[in-house]
Amino acid sequence: MSAEMSTPNPKDAMRISVSEALAKVSVYVRSLGLYGRAHPIVEEMVNAAQESLLQALASNPVISVVVTERYLALDSFPVEDPTGCLQSFLELLHERQIGEVLFSAGVSVPDIDVFAEALSMSAETLALHGGSDTFLKSRGVTNVKALRETDETQTAEGPAAAQVYNGALVLAEEAMEAVATGMPLPVADIRSAVTDSLHSLMTDETALLALAAIRSYDRYLSEHSVNVCIFSMMLGRDLGLTVEEVMDLGIAALLHDVGKVFVPSEVVKKPGKLTEEEWMEMRKHPVAGARALAGMRELPSLSATVALEHHMYMDGTGYPSLGHHQPHLSSRLVTIADTYDAMTTERPYRTRWTPDEAIGWMLYETQDRYDRQLLARFASRAGMFPIGTFVKLSSDDLAVVVGGSRQSPRRPVVKVVAPRSRRRQGQVVNLAESRHRLLSITKVARPVEVLLPYVDALAAA
């Protein structure tokens, strides 16, 4: 055989190189979820993945891998998968609605780490981050891009999500201006914007949630109001509220912070910790907002109630203090959305928390501040484990979640209630501790699974 015939085709060599690199990235993503970043073998895997990617990028500055329904494609050809590693990788990309992955020359270990972190999140949590590419950009990653599956920006059913979101932003700003100047609120336009937002949520909520994660300091107040509106309506729909109820909730949530127009702007926009006097000014905004909205016949009566109560907590703390007053259901729901959006937004005086950290803190470290049932629904949507959740462990034991922390919200503290071995009965396990790194939650257990071990005892009784 001639040397010319034995020389591999450059494109074939490229596809083999990319196949090997993606397989190593896939193994690293899976290992990261199993062992955590600190494990030595995981460190070896990410270094191997980077080295392999750099080798593939040596002959081409950018590698574009397209996610098709059944395989990954490079230059319209399927990427070979001799080890079978890429099937689970493909499924992860599909679940997170990623249509194309691009690797650029200079890709680093931190770049791969952040990409793996994005794929380790649940699809819901990633959507709350704004989607894969927004998450990567927010973490400073420039050499890995994970683009959404292509869709039409405008459909016959209604306006695109970006148009809906920007329209709601404009209306939120106009509402603030109207309240500040004593002019009539553009109620009809507000209702129309909320209607479009609700329709967008019902059609494809991930697009609107992705937009809600893109923040601008200059438009913080209006973006915060729109985001709280979106998150509140999402949760309202999950709770089974009627369309009319969700609409009223959305309007109330959009206007929940209008009282801040009566607080001196230097206090609202102060890039640092507020003094006690400034906090006294800030605490006036719920009452000021409720007064401004009360009596406006075109608005849902709920609007003034939510404006008044959105900083009042279930345990009696918060402001304004009204003794043993119990906040309205809608106010309790808006409070969760308000806290979540505020904590996951970058501010000049503090670094934002990740969605996991924010929900973990509300779940495990705030006692009875929030409505536990509403918070559990919100947390479950993001793939979290509220206290009281029955789960199945990788050891096949059934356990109940009894605690946790914001640092490791996906690895909570559990109590074994249905063990495979009697000696583990009642054992409390902190899954975040390194000695339990090989133990994980495999799924949320259905009630029947919890009862199965006791069937004989129940029958005998």
Question: Which residue is associated with the tokens 């915060």?
Answer: 224
Question: Which residue is associated with the tokens 């922390």?
Answer: 405
Residues 206 and 140 placed together within one structural domain of the fold: no
Torsion of CA 150, 58, 60, 47, to 10 degrees: 0
Residues 341 and 422 placed together within one structural domain of the fold: no
Which residues, listed in sequence order, are joined to residue 64 by a DSSP beta bridge? 102
User: 48 in a domain, yes or no?
Assistant: yes
Average pLDDT value for residue range 281-298? 92
Question: Would the CA dihedral through 203, 206, 211, 215 be positive or negative?
Answer: positive
Report DSSP state, residue 259.
Answer: G
User: 171 in a domain, yes or no?
Assistant: yes
For residue 433, give Cα distances in angstroms to 35, 386, 410.
12, 19, 12
- The pLDDT of residue 9 is above 60: no
Residues 305 and 427 placed together within one structural domain of the fold: no
Distance CA(162)–CA(159), nearest Å, equals: 8
Distance CA(222)–CA(225), nearest Å, equals: 5
SS3 57: helix
Predicted structure pTM score: 0.61
Sort strands 62-67 and 98-104 into parallel, antiparallel or unpaired. Answer: antiparallel
For residue 141, give Cα distances in angstroms to 57, 66, 398.
17, 19, 39
pLDDT of residue 287: 96
pLDDT of residue 431: 93
Residues 170 and 70 placed together within one structural domain of the fold: no
Supply angle C-alpha 274, 281, 170, rounded to 5.
90
Distance CA(70)–CA(82), nearest Å, equals: 15
Of 148, 179, 208, which residue constitutes the final position of a domain?
A: 148
Report DSSP state, residue 436.
Answer: G
pLDDT band per the 50, 70, 90 thresholds, residue 256? very high
Residues 199 and 334 placed together within one structural domain of the fold: yes
pLDDT band per the 50, 70, 90 thresholds, residue 217? low
Residues 264 and 347 placed together within one structural domain of the fold: yes
* Residue that wins the pLDDT comparison between 32 and 93: 93
User: 234 in a domain, yes or no?
Assistant: yes
User: 378 in a domain, yes or no?
Assistant: no
pLDDT band per the 50, 70, 90 thresholds, residue 5? very low
Query: What does the pLDDT look like over 363-419, one tens digit per residue?
Result: 998 878 999 889 988 888 777 888 888 889 999 888 999 999 888 888 999 999 888
User: 376 in a domain, yes or no?
Assistant: no
Supply angle C-alpha 364, 370, 373, rounded to 5.
85
Residues 142 and 238 placed together within one structural domain of the fold: no
Among 137-141, 214-218, 249-253, 292-296, whose mean pLDDT is lowest?
Answer: 214-218
Question: Would the CA dihedral through 293, 299, 305, 308 be positive or negative?
Answer: negative
Average pLDDT value for residue range 281-286? 96
Per-chain mean pLDDT for the chain: 83
SS3 148: strand
Residues 217 and 102 placed together within one structural domain of the fold: no
Question: Would the CA dihedral through 34, 39, 41, 46 be positive or negative?
Answer: positive
For residues 247 and 194, the answer to whether their CB atoms sit within 8 Å is yes
H helices present in 270-369, as ranges? 276-282, 285-293, 302-309, 329-343, 355-364
Other Cβ atoms closer than 10 A to 226: 31
pLDDT band per the 50, 70, 90 thresholds, residue 362? very high
Of 127, 148, 169, which residue constitutes the final position of a domain?
A: 148
Query: What does the pLDDT look like over 290-346, one tens digit per residue?
Result: 999 997 888 998 999 999 999 999 999 999 988 788 999 999 999 999 999 999 887
Q: How far is it between the farthest Cα atoms of the chain?
A: 91
Query: What does the pLDDT look like over 56-92, one tens digit per residue?
Result: 888 777 888 888 888 888 766 788 877 777 888 888 8
Distance CA(274)–CA(351), nearest Å, equals: 16
Among 43-47, 203-207, 250-254, whose mean pLDDT is lowest?
Answer: 203-207
pLDDT of residue 456: 55
The amino acid sitting at 223 is E
Residues 328 and 454 placed together within one structural domain of the fold: no
Distance CA(194)–CA(247), nearest Å, equals: 7
Residues 389 and 331 placed together within one structural domain of the fold: no
User: 407 in a domain, yes or no?
Assistant: yes
Strand 144-148: give its sheet, edge to edge.
77-78, 72-74, 62-67, 98-104, 144-148
Average pLDDT value for residue range 182-190? 88
Average pLDDT value for residue range 238-258? 90
pLDDT band per the 50, 70, 90 thresholds, residue 449? low
Residues 117 and 239 placed together within one structural domain of the fold: no
Distance CA(393)–CA(388), nearest Å, equals: 15
The amino acid sitting at 47 is N
Report the CATH number that the domain containing residue 242 is assigned in CATH.
Answer: 1.10.3210.10
Percent of the chain with pLDDT over 90: 26
Of 148, 172, 191, which residue constitutes the final position of a domain?
A: 148
- The pLDDT of residue 186 is above 70: yes
Strand 390-393: give its sheet, edge to edge.
428-430, 413-418, 398-403, 390-393, 441-444
Q: How many domains does the chain have?
A: 3
pLDDT of residue 343: 92
Residues 142 and 168 placed together within one structural domain of the fold: no
User: 49 in a domain, yes or no?
Assistant: yes
pLDDT of residue 12: 65
pLDDT of residue 60: 74
pLDDT band per the 50, 70, 90 thresholds, residue 359? very high
Question: Would the CA dihedral through 316, 319, 322, 326 be positive or negative?
Answer: negative
Domain that holds residue 12: 8-148
Read off the tokens for 110.
């931190």
pLDDT of residue 215: 59
User: 252 in a domain, yes or no?
Assistant: yes
